[in-house]
Amino acid sequence: MKTKRIKKRILLIILIIIALTQLFPLYWLITFSLKSNIEIFGDNVIGLPKDWRWINYKTALSDGGILRYFLNSTFYSVVTVGVTGLFTAMAGYAIARMKWKLSNVTYGFFTLGIMIPTQAALLPLFQVLDKMGLKGGYLGLLIPYISFAIPMSIMILVGFYRGIPKEIEEAAYIDGSGVFRCFATIILPIIKPALATASIFTFLGTWNELMFANTLVDSSDFRTLPVGIMSFSGQYSTDWGLIGAAMVIATLPTIIVYFFLSNQVQESLVAGAVKG
């Protein structure tokens, strides 16, 4: 009994150390955002601010235009997650559950997109979108975001679909359900954990993306949050506390999204482990 208690205490101590290690960057970022350049580059690097500069957040939201960039990033992320989730849920169902000749070829075509580096596609995308008159607007970013989010979502959902017993659908068909009704009322609720996992990956990839947003958008009206934060860095001087405040604002949505979808992600991982 004593040995078990000692092992539990050691394990608890290790877990606490790991938790503190993971939380320290967030603590440092928050305190960083409330300091001036003098404190940041002085002797108070990781301590609490001596002068709590809440003005950094006010300046970032009003004068810095972060609110506009925040709304743009929210729009891009929500639309990308919604369109990608709807398309891949239906496409993955057709690939994994329906019998047709080109299902494996189609699956290979989608997964091939993971092997294409975004850097290699940047110049062709720039030229195509420019000739089509889409560069510089919302569609100019939504099209690449959705296109590059689809392959990963397809892989996650197809793998999950293949682990669902076919007897569930067969019973629904016997009761008179059609394909669309069976998908909407039976299959869709089952794949919620996998769909939540794919949505988190899609959201994080869209929210934090910088290369496309910095290349394909010219006007500040369509800029995303990462590009807006990058523009805070001046040529001769930089207010690092202001950048820290903007980074905190940019980090909050990712924490909130994962907080609400974390249970679904855990269910997806557990289900995958059991099926494996």
As a whole number of angstroms, the distance between CA 224 and CA 77 comes to 10
Residues 6 and 80 in one domain: no
pTM equals 0.83
Residue 58 in any domain: the answer is: no
**Domain housing 47:** 1-53
Residues 47 and 79 in one domain: no
Residues 36 and 109 in one domain: no
As a whole number of angstroms, the distance between CA 67 and CA 63 comes to 10
As a whole number of angstroms, the distance between CA 101 and CA 119 comes to 33
Judged against a pLDDT cut of 70, whether residue 264 lies above it is answered with no
How many domains does the chain divide into? 2
The per-residue pLDDT for range 188-233, each reduced to its tens digit, is: 888 888 888 888 889 989 999 989 998 888 888 888 989 888 887 7
CA nearest to 211, candidates 102, 147, 77, 118: 118
Residues 19 and 110 in one domain: no
3-state DSSP call for residue 203?
Answer: helix
Residue 237 in any domain: the answer is: yes
Q: In whole angstroms, how far apart are CA 175 and each of 168, 172, 182, 188?
A: 11, 5, 10, 18
The per-residue pLDDT for range 68-95, each reduced to its tens digit, is: 899 999 999 999 999 999 999 999 998 9
Residue 259 in any domain: the answer is: yes
Residues 126 and 7 in one domain: no
